Amino acid sequence: MSQEAPTPSARRNELLEAAYRYALTHGLAGLSLRPLAGAIGSSPRVLLFLFESKDGLLRALLARARADQLALLERAGGPDRPAGLAPAVERVWTWLAAKEHRPLLRLWAEAYARSLNQPDGAWAGFARATVDDWLGVLAGFQTPSERAGEDGLARRTLALAVLRGALLDLLATDDEERLTAAVVQQSRVALYGRDQPERCD
């Protein structure tokens, strides 16, 4: 008979949220338990007890970051969710490029790169998982005819490439105006072969 996983304690959740806020400001590179614990009102011993190891804490922080990214992408849809991939890319970009989301995007970029360079341990699978996450969200914006078959997957992949490349450029240059113009143009031309997307009746 299978047993359910134990419910995380309220203290563990509280410290995870505090550690996540710390990571958004300081990043995860070279994360040291002692400064982290001091900043969030805990101790290294308590963190190791609650998360089992430093890698366990890192995995929890990466899972928390993924959840935040997905929530951000889903909010970009909103109640007036655009039908069609090109307008969705433009809407998602507007949300992602907002200055208040830069800390999350920097954390995503750091974790993505670490996952590629250190494919084992706490970072294992993060980059691949975020690709799957984003492709799944983009599929939800496609109309049924857009979503079908290999062509639908190819369009989602292209949309993801446009967004991811623009985000890395944005983090490097902070040139939101230039990149917004490029994302709008590229999403329409690359995805539809024209300056305006097809109307979806």
Q: Specify the pTM.
A: 0.78
| Residues in contact with 77: Cβ distance below 8 Å, sequence separation at least 6, in sequence order | 88, 91, 140, 141
| Residues in contact with 99: Cβ distance below 8 Å, sequence separation at least 6, in sequence order | none
Which token pair is 183? Answer: 């994302």
Residues 163 and 96 sit within 8 Å (Cβ to Cβ): yes
What is the model's pLDDT at position 3? 40
The 8 Å CB, 24+ separation contacts for 75-79 are: 77/140, 77/141
What is the model's pLDDT at position 44? 94
| Cα pseudo-dihedral 97, 101, 107, 111, rounded to 10 | -50
Q: What is the mean pLDDT of each run of 10 residues along the chain (201 residues)?
A: 53 94 90 94 94 93 89 72 78 90 92 88 90 90 81 90 94 95 81 52 41
Residues 93 and 180 sit within 8 Å (Cβ to Cβ): yes
The architecture that CATH gives domain 10-192 is: Orthogonal Bundle (1.10)
Which token pair is 56? Answer: 């366990």
In three-state secondary structure terms, 31 is coil
Q: For CA atoms 70, 75, 80, 85, give the dihedral sign.
A: negative
Residues 58 and 68 sit within 8 Å (Cβ to Cβ): no
Q: Which position has the token pair 């369009």?
A: 155
Domain parsing of the chain, residue ranges: 10-192
What is the model's pLDDT at position 201? 41
What is the model's pLDDT at position 171? 95
What is the model's pLDDT at position 16? 96
- As a whole number of angstroms, the distance between CA 191 and CA 22 comes to 38
What is the model's pLDDT at position 64? 92
What is the model's pLDDT at position 142? 84
Q: For CA atoms 43, 38, 119, 161, give the dihedral sign.
A: positive
Residues 23 and 61 sit within 8 Å (Cβ to Cβ): yes
What is the model's pLDDT at position 88? 84
